[in-house]
Structure formats: C-alpha cells, structure tokens
Chain A
Amino acid sequence: MPRLIEYRQAIREALDEELARDPMVVLMGEEVAQYNGAYKVTQGLWEKWGDKRVVDTPISEAGFIGMGVGASMLGIRPVMELMFWSFYTVAWDQIINNAGMVRYMSGGLINCPIVVRGPANGGTGVGATHSHTPENIMASFPGMKCVCPATARDAKGLMKAAIRDNDPVMFMENTLLYGEKGEVPDNSELPEGELFIPLGVAEVKREGTDLSLIAHGRAVLTCLKAAEILEEEHGISVEVVDLRTIRPLDEETIFESVRKTHKAICVDENKPFCGVSAQIASSIQLHCFDDLDAPVLRVSALDSPAFYSPPIEKLQLPYPDVIVAKALSIC
C-alpha cells in the first residue's frame, strides 16, 4: 500500500527529521509554535521539540529574518517561516543584501545556510498584497537558491536538501497544495533510510513525444491535467517536465525533453515579465534552436496584480484550457 500524505505533512516530516538530525536546526516564524502554524505545516513540532527549537516571533519580518541570517553566519541552520511569502518585501534587505550577498562580499569567508519558507501563490482571494509569486525575483540574485515543489514527495525530499544546503534557499510552498495528498514513501521502505531529493534536479512527471510542457509548483499539476486532455481529445502525446528547483536549474532535463518533442510551452504562475518561463524560453532557443519545430510559447499569470473577486482571479492563473489552446496552436 503506497503511503498517501498531505503536502503539508510531508514538509512537516522533513522539518521533524531535520530537527532530530541536527541540533543546529531551528524553526522560527509567526505562529509556528504554539498556534501550530497559520497553515498547520508545523503542527505538533513545538510540543515535541520545545521552545528552543521551534520559536514564535513577533510580527517583525525584517528583524527576525535578519536575525536568522545573522545566526546562520555562526552555523545555526534557521528554517524561517514567512506566513505568506508575500511578506518577503518587509524583509527584502535582509534576504537579498545580507543572505544573498555576504558570501561574495566576504570573498567566501562567510556563508548563510538559511531556509526561508512559506506559501507563495495566488488563487486564494486574498488580494494583490498577499498573492505574490517571487520565485523569479529570488532566483534572479546570484547567491540565492530557489525551490518550488509541486508534490508532497518533492516537498519532503527537497526540504531536507534545502536545510542541509550551505547557501540561502528560498523554499516556496503553496496554500492550494497544502491539502493535496501524494505518495510519499515511508523511510523504512527506502534503502538510504530517508527521502532526500537534491536541489537542481528536474523530474519528468509524464512522458510524451509531441510536446514538452515545462513548469514548476502548482502549474505542474495544471500541465498534467492539460496533458490528459490533449492526449484524450486530440491524440497529442505530451511530456511534462517539473523543474522542482528554479535555481540551480536542471537545464539538461529540459533540453533532453525538447530534443525529443521539438516543441515546448513554458507554464508558470509567475507574472510574465521576466518570469521563470522567460528564462527557460531563452535557454531553450539558445541551446535547442535546431531542434525546435515551433517557437517556444509561454503561459503565465495574466499581467496585472491579483484580482480579489474569486471567479476573476481564477482566470488570472494558468488553467488547463489555456494550455490546451496554446498547444493546439503549434501541434
């Protein structure tokens, strides 16, 4: 029997296992301890690990994220929760200038093994300020790493890699995925005794021969739905590549797929201007120019701030029909 658990529980397991493995790991953020987390990701961890390892902070993102960055310079491994990734703007300077730049500016003398995690998504009717998807922004700074898991399994394995990584890792979850169940093997079933997925390794989530859909985060699930429709209704065989990590980026898996299918659509919930898909499209045209039978297309969030009204906001994010229509335009 495969073990099905929620995405949030998968992350929780990774946090729990890392707390057990390394006494330097500390979880911190607003409501992560006594309240069990605004989205219940950290449920039960404060009870199990106590005040020293799981810490509630006041609403002071610049202060506590910066504190985490400073502590990481001394070898602490803070895993900081932003209740919404959208609040990164309050801690912008600490994340970008301090976590992101100190290694370079110190000529490699200092490094920041910090993880900043939380949900980064639109689609929940919380308005423009709470619906940011900053993976493209974070990944645009050399020195930063950025992870966007789409499934429970990936969320667990990648979180463990993120915590053990010696560079700052921006880990972006999704409130719409927290309740999604996925197959996550129990540690006892694994030869290594744990689930560990290295950063910088994409995964082909569905194999196909006619078209590559390249996505990350929740857009992967949207692509899988679109792929089914394209297969069933149009006889088009679609491959879905899940980037999993935005930076480091597994370009080889993307290129391999495109060399096979000769057509690519990059799908993301980023805004289109300089979004993740823009970077990928640029890389594909550079490295796979002769393999392409059609221009590389993109499907991103519509180019406006998030609209509150639920039925309208749904239209702002990629949904299967849009991807299907795009695919049909080149297949």
Chain B
Amino acid sequence: MPDRFLPSEFIVNVDHQRCRRCKRCILNCGFGVFDFQNMTTADSSKCVACHRCVVFCPEEAITITRNPLAYREHASWDVELRKAIWKQAQNSGMILTGMGNDKPWLNIFDHLLIDACQVTNPSIDPLREPMELRTYLGRKPDRLEVKLDSEGKIVLENPLENNIMINVPIIFSGMSYGSISLNAQRAIAIAAERLGTLMNTGEGGLHEELYPYADHIIVQCASGRFGVHSKYLNAGVAVEIKIGQGAKPGIGGHLPGEKIGREVSGTRMIPQGTDALSPAPHHDIYSIEDLRQLIYALKEATGYKPVSVKIATVHNVAAIASGIARAGADMIYLDGFRGGTGASPAVVRDHVGIPIEIAIAVVDEQLRNEGIRNMVSIIAAGGIRSSADVVKAIALGADAVAIGTAALIAMGCRLCQKCYTGNCSWGIATQRPELTSRLDPDWGAERLVNLVNSWSLEVKEVLGALGINAIESLRGNRDRLRSLGLDPATNEVLGVKPVGK
C-alpha cells in the first residue's frame, strides 16, 4: 500500500509563467510544502491552507484549491468520518486538532436579533453623545451603606473594593506561552495595555519580559501548575483558577514536547522537550469545598486580589457556577464549546460541552434566582466572533466577553487548525525561532487595538440604536433580543421571546 493512503486536502498550484523563483514561499511555509528543483515545486499533501505563501508571493503566482476529488455521496458516512477512520486505521491514536469546534452545530448567536428605537423612544447618536463601555470586574456588595454625617456630608461606609476597571467589556482570553509564541503574547500584552483591558497568561506562566504589563494581566493557575510561584501569582491584577476549557472540557492542557524549548521550559519550570500534560482535574480539587480552599489560598497569597474561576460550559453549568460564586470566586469565566485550543482530541473538541449562549443565560438566571448575581462577574468566551456577538452575550447576561480566536485571526491566523503541530506559518502557534521572529509584536498589537476599537465603535452604534448610553443597561436586558428560528424550549432557556412577540 502507498504511504499516502489519504488524498491531499488541498492542491497547491504554482504558475511557472509568473514565478520569478524568489523562493519566498519556501522560506515562509511552516509546513515544508515548497521545494526548489530547477523551479519551485509544491507538495500538496503537506498543505494546510494557511495562505502564508499566497500572501507573501510577490507575483501572486500561487493558488490553493480544495482537492476536487469526488467521493461517493453518503448522507450518513460524511467524508470527514471516512477520513478519520482511514487515519486511525493507519496510525492508532486519537485524532488531534487545533482551534475551536468546526462542526456545523446550530449557532444560537446567529438566531438572535437586536431591537432598536423608533418613535416612542429616541435612539441616541453615538457621534454626538457619550456612550459608556466602562466595566468593573469583581465581586460587588448587594447594597451600599451611605450615611449623612453631622455636617450633612455624604459618607460611603463600604466603598467598592477589589474590582478591576476595564475600558471595554472585551478582554483577551488565556492563551499560554508555549501554545502561542512569546511574540504573540507580547502583542496581546501591548494591546491590552493600550486598550485599558486585560490579557490572560493561560497556563504557561509569565515570561520575565511581560512583567511590565502586569497591571493588565490575569495570571492563571491550572492543574499542571506550570510556572506558578509566588512572584507570578502576585504579578497580575487577578488570579484565575482554570478548571476547564471550552475546547476540551474535562481534560487538561496538552503541550507537545516539540514546542518546549529553552525559554518555554524556563517559564513553565519544566524540562526542555518533555510533553507538558496538565492533569485532567486539579488533584487538590475533587469537590466544591476544595475549590473554596484554593480560592482562599490564592487570595491569602496575593493580598486578596480577585480570583476568577474558568470552567468549560457543560450541561450542569448553572449549578456549578452557583457553587463557584458561593465558594468565594470574584469572577466566573465561562468557556463555551466553540472555544479554541492549541491542541485537543477532535472527539472532545467537537462533541463535548454546550454553547456559550445557553451557558450565559442559565448561569445569569440561576445567580439572580439565588440573589447572588452581584457576587461575581460573568466573563463569556468560546465563540465570540464579532461585535454583534459581544452585544448579544452581554444582553443575555455577561459582564464582559473574552476573545482568543478572533485575536489570533487579527494577527494573521487563517484557522488552519494545525496549531498542535507547532509549525504555524504565521508565527503564532509555534516556538520555532525562524517562524516566531516573523510576528512583530508592535504590528500585532496595532492590529489587535484596531480590532477591539472597531468592535467598540460597533457596540456603541448598537447601544445608540437601542437608546442606551451605558453598557450596564444592556447587561441582562434580554427584553431587547428576539429569537428567529429557535425552538420554544431553547427560547425559554434563553429567556428570549421569539420575533413578533
């Protein structure tokens, strides 16, 4: 049998009339597609459609097409299923993949429509009136004690404490050093600082070079405890306990040894070249009271900085979130089943968890029913693709959203889903120096700032149309959403009426 039992997914074509043999494609491709033998040749079997060559070819000589090979149609045996079986029959093992769930599950965001003002109440013009997006993350008391002192001066007895102010309700999600390059993290850190928002270290520790950005960093403490030490915990503005991740609920982070060079090994405090496999659970958290202990241990260790708990959205997410709030967390980070990853078994990425839209709705509702919504901020992530998603997530009940995949796309990522190979041609999900060096952090930061600023403008525009001039009046305002094409049970879970009602 031939080695290449599986046909190529894409066909790379070099137009030799146009090609001037500059060899840029050879240098640029992280996957070794191109070679030079008298002329530029391409091995299509290696192509992942990351478009690096296409973008950098000065002659537009390269085209990439889907391999048009016909497969006998079968409604049940989808071609992808057949391919998976061929792969596994050849090399026994799990199929790995990167980025978020790519299956065509119903996307609830795309079935929600936003209201606007007409006649009975005026819309507000964001070009002429202030539009406020400022958000405070953290635990808030249920009420303030305000007294008048003997001179009639107003005295606040329990001022707000331990909250983090962000200028926009959009933060960057946890992407570890190791899974992404230091340059990618640098770009995100610079952008977070310039935007007045936050980044998150992910579970790979904090590289020395990023300590200057600490006022805009949430440091993560995951089950592998990579890079966790007291200076690290105290560096950021908050600590996040990562219980789970939307792309792989129930399993720990996996970083293949190929991505663990000297710098990553130093930051993570593990030997070079070893696989960094985080345990599936935290071995000191087997129940909610254990979580409480870790939350308070981290608070003690950091002088009571806010603690966030990140969970993947699973079926019982509302009850879990309530437990987390009561265990003392200040923020709950909900990562929906579309959340991205550097590496995950495809079976878990594609089939485990629930959509973020549902999770926001049920968690917000549960916390309100228990009268403890003020105890925590809800950060929604895993499937936020646009400013419309931001608006809808907040209207469903989130305080803020986190973006990961969108941020990487802004820096060039083409969603090729090969992050786990460590060959990312865009210098993002790789540690190969010749690849990482091509991502200029300042260039990346500028693109991230542009993206978030654009979304902010769009959110403001929608707020204005809604006749609202502060983001908090959108939060949980499901009255301003209607659903189109969702079933009644889903509408009820979302707390959203169908269009026309």
Do A and B originate from a single complex?
A: no
**Residues of B near any A CB (own CB < 8 A):** none
**Residues of A near any B CB (own CB < 8 A):** none
